[in-house]
Amino acid sequence: MSDLRDLYQETILDHTRRPRNFGALDEANCRADGYNPLCGDRVTVYVRLEDDRVADVRFAGSGCAISTASASLMTESLKGKTRKQAEELSERFHDMLTGTADAPLDPSRLGKLAVMAGVRDYPVRVKCATLVWHTLNAALEGKQDTVTTE
């Protein structure tokens, strides 16, 4: 189990150091801004939907290691997904980090995103990890206001 944890740590560090899909997406037709006042994380999510499918997704902003890794992993997981699948993934990710201990979510259902499961042990960091997903939801719903985790 500790080996698995090391692997998770390494993957998170890798995404923090070299975030994937980072930078504005000019062709985006959905976007939203998110802010986590507890930590100071700021993120903008850009999505290009084509026929209700995520054709491209990028993010920009500045935040802590966890928020950056979470955003990077999110963009990798979303490409090609339908809007509904993206919303389901968001719900599952949220459940993984905030679900009750009685009904823990099987992380294997989240694929690569399961590396973030360890964040659950650090409640103060959960909002860092979920910020980008809240922001994604707002982008897909076409909301204009900045999303905050408060």
CA distances from 57 to 25, 30, 65, 74, 85 (A): 7, 9, 20, 9, 14
Which residue, chain included where needed, has tokens 């698995």? 4
Q: Which stretch in 27-35, 49-57, 63-71, 95-103 sits in contact with Zn ion by CB under 5 A?
A: 63-71
x/- string (CB under 5 A) for Zn ion, residues 66-105?
A: -x--------------------------------------
Q: Report the nearest approach of Zn ion to the CB of residue 70 (Å).
A: 9
x/- string (CB under 5 A) for Zn ion, residues 119-148?
A: ---------x--------------------
Could you give the residue ranges of the DSSP H alpha helices within the chain? 2-17, 65-78, 83-98, 123-141
Q: Tell how far CA 25 is from the center of its chain.
A: 17
Residues near Zn ion, by CB under 5 A: 39, 41, 64, 67, 128
